[in-house]
Each structure stands twice: as C-alpha cells, then as structure tokens.
Amino acid sequence: MNTDDLCIINGVVTKICYTTVAGRAPLTPHELHFFDEIVSARADDIIAKWIDFFVMHKPIKSETITRRFK
C-alpha cells in the first residue's frame, strides 16, 4: 500500500510524495495514476479540510468522488 505526503509551502501544495507501507501491497501503476490525479485536482480542498478538522476542530463532511478529473 502506498501513502502520500503533501509538501506545502505558503499554503500551496508543491509536491506529492509517495512511499510504500511494509506488509501492504503497493498500488498498481493504474491505481497510482488515478490516485495522483485525484490528489492533484483536490489538493487545496484536502488541505482546507485538514485545517478545519485538526486545527479548527470543526466537523467536516465526507465526499464521494464519482467522476474522473481532467
């Protein structure tokens, strides 16, 4: 299984780093590409929700992604 780290400078995502987790199967290249597409397209939303939940202690609403991003 892969995990990701978002590198943020001045509130902007500048890089997405992927690492593997011991004992878990890594994502296939197709899955990794799709995951990268989602994270890249929604990076600002991910950061905003992270801040709302962990810093501001606000409840957040989960979202279901139903379409591909371009």
Q: Say whether pTM exceeds 0.85.
A: no
Judge contact between 40 and 22, C-beta under 8 A: no
CA 50/CA 4 separation, integer angstroms: 14
Question: Tokens standing for 57?
Answer: 């202690």
Judge contact between 65 and 35, C-beta under 8 A: no
pLDDT tens per residue across span 9-35: 887 778 888 788 888 888 888 988 888
**15 vs 58: which has the higher pLDDT:** 58
Question: Tokens standing for 61?
Answer: 């609403």
What pLDDT does residue 1 have? 52
Question: Tokens standing for 39?
Answer: 């994270």
Helix and strand totals (H; E) in the chain: 1, 2
> Is residue 57 scored above 70 in pLDDT?
yes
